[in-house]
Amino acid sequence: MKDFSGKIAFITGGASGAGLGQAKLFGGLGAKVTIVDIRQEALDKALAELKSLGIDALGIQMDLTNREQYIAAADKAEAHWGGPPQLLIQTAGVNTFGPAEASTFEDFDWVLGVNLFGVINGMVIFVPRMIKAYNKVNGTINQEGAHIAIVSSLGAFSGFATDAPYSCSKAAVNNLAYSYYEALKPYGIGVTVQCPANINSNIGEAILTRPAHLANTGYHVSEGTINMLKSIHATGMDPVELAKNLKAAIENELPLAIPYDNAEEMLQREFRKVIQYLTVEGMREQEEEKRKIAEEMKGFLQTDTSVVSGPIEPFGQAKSDLEWILPEKRK
């Protein structure tokens, strides 16, 4: 897909961050954009901004883990635009951090529910509709086919001690995308998974949307930890720049997009680490690799405390009352 003018786009998590950047970029190229988000206030603000830019946009509030709501949103968007999306971008995501050994069922249920099953819901709901409408061979509306993009994370390639649910969800999403990439080739429908690191977004505040029935967590979460994440994400990649990287991948039908010049080097190092797991000698080599990764991560985890008011404290700790966890890992 190289011409986005007049195309119907459906973007999850479209009210802020990467999703809003995508809406601005593709909407600015003439796409008719639906943005969906769980936060009505954020949707209203985003729609006003998009419309001020002359972008034809529809906003729908929904919880993408709720399949009935998702189907209703898909139906509403299809009725509004006259067809299913030719460009489906699944961007919505959440994160929460703490020692893996402190994780609860609810920590996994919430993060995987949004990051993995939210994407699965989008695929199951939209893929049949897109094939019927935009099959490159038999489609009657658009002979360019269609495209599906999923925003994953560099965390898909490596697990860390304090992000087990998140990295697990992203690794699964990558493989889901690769499966659909192969499956949808005969229909002329492309699939791209994009793996950035830090993005200028509100994902640090995603914890505020965590549903009450999944509130039980083993992680220490506070105003201070939210502020710390907010200050980190404020220094992340500009969402429109991230969307430009995605656009290039879509135009070239690439299954994977990593928005950094040293992407190949980064992947080689991660794959080398997997091979190192096979031997004692390899595990020794990893100590030096860990040092390099730690230094690189510092570049992604700069802070801008001017964007927050109130306390700031480190994230990634367990609750203080989990006495069976090492003291240095607890608040």
Give mean pLDDT, residues 120-146: 81
Give mean pLDDT, residues 27-43: 97
Map out the domains of the chain with their CATH numbers. Answer: 8-320 (3.40.50.720)
> CA 156 to CA 101: how far, in whole Å?
19
Which of the following is catalytic: 166, 180, 187, 219? Answer: 166
pLDDT in tens, 308-326: 778 888 899 999 999 999 9
pLDDT of residue 139: 52
pLDDT of residue 136: 66
pTM: 0.93
> CA 23 to CA 10: how far, in whole Å?
9
Q: Is the pLDDT of residue 106 over 90?
A: yes
The larger pLDDT score, comparing residue 297 to residue 215, is at 215
pLDDT of residue 299: 65
Average pLDDT, the chain: 92
pLDDT in tens, 165-175: 999 999 999 99
Give mean pLDDT, residues 243-253: 97
Give mean pLDDT, residues 279-301: 76
Amino acid at 306: S
Q: Is the pLDDT of residue 178 over 80?
A: yes
Alpha helices in the chain (DSSP H): 17-28, 40-52, 67-81, 105-115, 117-134, 164-184, 223-233, 239-251, 263-276, 280-300
Q: Is the pLDDT of residue 145 over 80?
A: no
pLDDT of residue 138: 59
Give mean pLDDT, residues 177-195: 96
166 in catalytic set = yes
Give mean pLDDT, residues 66-74: 98
